[in-house]
Amino acid sequence: MTTVRNQDMTTVADPPRTATEIIARAKALAPVLRERAAEIEEAGKLPLDVVELLRATGVHGMCFRREWGGPELTSMEQTQVAEALAYGDASAAWCGIIGANTGLLANFLEPDVVREVYPRLDMVTAGVLAPAGRADKVPGGFLLSGRWSFGSTIHHADWVMSGAFVFENGEPYASPDGSNPHESRQFLVPQHEVQILDDWDTTGLRGSGSSDYTITDVFVPETHTLTFDNPRCSPHPLAQPESFMRSLCGVPLGVARAALDYARECVLQRVDRMTGTDWADIWRVQVTLAECEADFNATRNGVYSAMTRQWEVLAAGGTLDDLTINERAASPIAWLHAFRTSRSIVNRLFDLLQTWSIHRSSPMDRWMRDTATMCQNLSAQDAILESAGAYLLGRRPKFRICLGIVK
């Protein structure tokens, strides 16, 4: 067994060191996840041994930067990992990518705090970043309370990061620089101080365990809070306000790719019972498969093109402001398009395969439900289009962080 020692962190056994290795491990795990998919769905959260299988791929630590001993995958590489895992099971991939955001959040914490809270690079941070809670200022920190919805992967998290509005002496707290009349922050608390509610009973992504949770008067030190306008590290493409939103679109892309491959396999095995014609020779089948492939290729290329351009500018020392208006808007639009087009592909293939799709034992049934559910995530909602459209028109976006705008 080989080991590596992270800078100022504990020794971790057999860590994957490169993007190539992590992607390969994710691809190798996909068939296992496919076999376990029904079990994962039935459990309503990831079984503990599946969590450990995910951990062994390196997905949880893939976003940690090299200064911490991490592999520091690019946004494009992270998305490939998401696709590979989702080819096996969407819920497992969803949880893996949420957990991977730990390394991105670390960029907004002081280095000493990172060493304290993340002694291993494969630890998981879950939570909801929307400011649904209340944080009252007290000496040394805050008292945090609230209820947050959709805490994906929270059942096997080590830490929980939650958004909340700040109050002082019972009144809304304004940012000292005047940029925000009612400041909100992110608050990091240990998972054992969170009450997880048993309310995750959904159509799709059932295995993600995205339960609501509550926190009641938990003290959070000032050092365990962050805002996305204040990275605590040197400039880097991963130390950006919207970095945690980038790779999640790999999950629907991975599902769409799995559905396309499965549909093609089914078609090659099927004969029309009325005419004796091979399905592979039927015009409707050929056109549907080709149209879905065209949509998949165009959508996936749009995602990677926008990501790559963004990464090039940031890696060269630029900022998001150095992108053209069209280039900056391209990323959130591409994420949304990946979600919605993947759902469309799955639905068309579901209809194409007809009664082969309708049984619970068919992966098409689960893929249809999973893509329908994941399209309710904020990344696939009209708020993204509204914000990107406003930005393209020179107006103030409502959901600014999807464009990396925090003030």
Write the CATH number for 174.
2.40.110.10
**77/152 same-domain check:** no
Please state the domain count of the chain: 3
E-state strands within 8-130: 11-13, 125-126
Confidence at 193, pLDDT banded by 50, 70, 90: very high
From 117, 139, 156, give the residue that closes a domain. Answer: 117
Which range of residues forms the domain containing residue 361? 246-403
pLDDT tens column, 301-349: 999 999 999 999 999 999 999 999 999 999 999 999 999 999 999 999 9
Distance of CA 13 to CAs 10, 114, 122, 218, 243, Å? 10, 20, 11, 34, 28
Confidence at 4, pLDDT banded by 50, 70, 90: very low
**199/316 same-domain check:** no
DSSP 309-366: HHHHHHHTT--GGGS-HHHHHHHHHHHHHHHHHHHHHHHHHHHHHGGGSSSTTSHHHH
Per-residue model confidence (pLDDT) at position 7: 39
Q: Nearest Cα to 192, choosing from 217, 220, 157?
A: 157
Confidence at 175, pLDDT banded by 50, 70, 90: confident
Indicate if the pLDDT at residue 8 is higher than 50: no
Confidence at 13, pLDDT banded by 50, 70, 90: low
Per-residue model confidence (pLDDT) at position 355: 85
Indicate if the pLDDT at residue 1 is higher than 70: no
Helix (H) or strand (E) holding 284: helix 283-315
Per-residue model confidence (pLDDT) at position 273: 87
Query: Which of 67-71, 247-251, 358-362 shows the lowest per-residue confidence on average (mean pLDDT)?
Result: 358-362
**106/213 same-domain check:** no
**80/194 same-domain check:** no
Could you tell me if residue 304 is inside a domain? Answer: yes
**113/258 same-domain check:** no
Query: Which of 13-22, 204-213, 384-393 shows the lowest per-residue confidence on average (mean pLDDT)?
Result: 13-22
Q: For position 96, which CATH number holds?
A: 1.10.540.10
pLDDT tens column, 66-87: 999 999 999 999 999 999 999 9
From 77, 96, 117, give the residue that closes a domain. Answer: 117
Q: What is the Cα–Cα distance from 251 to 230, expressed in whole angstroms?
A: 29
**135/107 same-domain check:** no
**286/386 same-domain check:** yes
Range 10-21 average pLDDT: 72
**107/252 same-domain check:** no
Per-residue model confidence (pLDDT) at position 179: 75
**What average pLDDT does the chain have?**
94
Pick the more confident residue, 272 or 217: 217
Range 274-303 average pLDDT: 96
- How large a percentage of the chain has pLDDT more than 70? 97
**221/299 same-domain check:** no
Range 31-50 average pLDDT: 97
Could you tell me if residue 375 is inside a domain? Answer: yes
Q: How far is CA 397 from the centre of its chain?
A: 22
